Amino acid sequence: MAHEKAERVIVEEWRKILALHARTMCELDRALHGHGIGASDFEVLDVLAEGGAADDGPSYRVQELADRVHLSQSALSRLIGRLERDGLVFRGMCSEDRRGVRVVLTEAGRARHAEVLPLQRAVLARTLAERRSS
Q: Model pTM?
A: 0.84
What are the pLDDT digits (tens) for 46-55?
A: 999 987 444 4
In this predicted model, what pLDDT tens digit does every residue of 62-98 receive, in sequence order?
A: 888 998 998 988 999 999 999 999 999 998 876 666 6
CA distances from 112 to 9, 124, 128, 134 (A): 42, 18, 24, 34
Q: Which residues of 19-56 are buried (b: 16+ CB within 10 A; e: fewer)?
A: eeeeebbebbbebbeeeebbbbbbbbbbbbbeebebee
| Residue percentage of the chain with pLDDT more than 90 | 65
What is the third-level CATH fold of 2-133? Arc Repressor Mutant, subunit A (1.10.10)
- Amino acid 133 reads S
d(CA 87, CA 72) in angstroms, rounded, equals 22
What pLDDT does residue 100 have? 72
